[in-house]
Amino acid sequence: MVVLYSTIAIIIAILSFWGISSYYFDKMIRRETEQFTHPQKVDSLKLFDHGTLSTLPPPVRRYLRNAIPDGYPLIQSVELTHNGYFRTDPGKDWWPIYGEEYFRTRQPAYLWIGTVFPYRWLWIKARDKYSDGHAEVWVRLYSSLTIQKNNGTKVDQSALLRFAGEMPWFPTAFANSDYLRWEAIDEHSARAILTDHNREVSVIYYFNDKNEIVRFYTKDRYLDQEKHDYTGYYRKYQEINGIRIPTEVEVQWNLQKGDFSYARFKITNIIYNNFGNKAAVALPAVTIP
């Protein structure tokens, strides 16, 4: 009987620990989301001006003219949701994933919360954030048991590259010379150099004959403490709130042993300028079929 009571006490203690730990992790995420989406101070309403694009490489100019109408409100904040699939190793099963993500575009910043379901009864929650030049990735089983928690300069650099890879969802940022400069390559590609808090990364964007970004590539992203080639693919462009954006993205590591595709996301809902920016034009949420 003593053994039984001891076992019950241990089980109760474990369940209590998991419950409390999960509560505080989810509470932290809610607090971070509230802080990240708190209204920004914006000086004045700014509109996209095609007249400012003359110094950009030709494929970038054509892309921006195709994607954004002249006089369109600059996108200063983004909220989106997505579904898709994720896997941890080549040859492993694809797991369903659902996520929400928030961006600020005056300077690179994002907050992403995703939940992966390896099985119906098993879920893993992740929080990935980048702001003020610093990033942190935190992954927990049932929001309770830490599986991974990474930060540091290599994580910061990889996070800035994630921001670069997701910029086609808010394309007015491509004309932001405060942190982005361009170098011409040829008629279907151009190099973008992003600088944030004394950190510089380089990305090559590739454009098709429809003047859409279809691929990006970098050598600057880290995997397991080492730089590896990294590629993203953009698909299924749609006109959303008056601009053309890709609604699907797939990313892969280009390793010596072969390409490893690990994430496929599909945007399900997106809204711009909804962080309470009084000088920004809020655009309605759009559900994407």
pLDDT tens, the chain, 289 aa long: 544 444 444 444 444 445 566 777 889 999 999 999 988 665 457 889 999 999 999 999 999 999 999 999 999 999 999 999 999 999 899 999 999 999 999 999 999 999 999 988 898 999 999 999 999 999 998 877 889 999 999 999 999 999 999 999 999 999 999 999 999 999 999 999 999 999 999 999 999 999 999 999 999 999 988 999 999 999 999 999 999 999 999 999 999 999 999 999 999 999 998 876 544 555 555 566 5
Whole-structure pTM value: 0.90
Which residues is 17 bridged to in the sheet?
none
pLDDT for 282 equals 53
* Cα atoms in the 13 Å half-sphere on the side-chain side of 196: 25
Helices (H), 117-270: 153-166
User: What span, in angstroms and rounded, lies between the C-alpha atoms of 269 and 288?
Assistant: 6
pLDDT for 173 equals 96
The 3-state DSSP class for residue 234 equals strand
Q: Are strands 199-207 and 189-196 parallel, antiparallel or unpaired?
A: antiparallel
Name the burial class of residue 205, with classes exposed (0-12), middle (13-18) and buried (19+) by CB atoms within 10 angstroms of its CB: buried
CA-atom Rg of the chain in angstroms: 21
Q: What is the 3-state secondary structure (H, E, C) of 189-222?
A: EEEEEEEECCEEEEEEEEECCCCCEEEEEEEEEE
Which tokens hold the place of 143? Answer: 């929001």
pLDDT for 216 equals 97
User: What span, in angstroms and rounded, lies between the C-alpha atoms of 134 and 138?
Assistant: 14
Identity of residue 158:
S
Which tokens hold the place of 288? Answer: 């994407």
Residues 6+ apart with CB under 8 A from 68: 48, 171, 172, 243, 244
CATH of domain 2-287: 2.50.20
pLDDT for 225 equals 87
pLDDT for 56 equals 96
**Residue for token digits 């980048």?**
130
Candidates 100, 266, 103, 113; CA nearest to 171 is 103
**Taking the domains of the chain in order of start, what are their residue ranges?**
2-287
pLDDT for 25 equals 85
pLDDT for 3 equals 46
Q: Are strands 122-131 and 258-272 parallel, antiparallel or unpaired?
A: unpaired
pLDDT for 24 equals 77
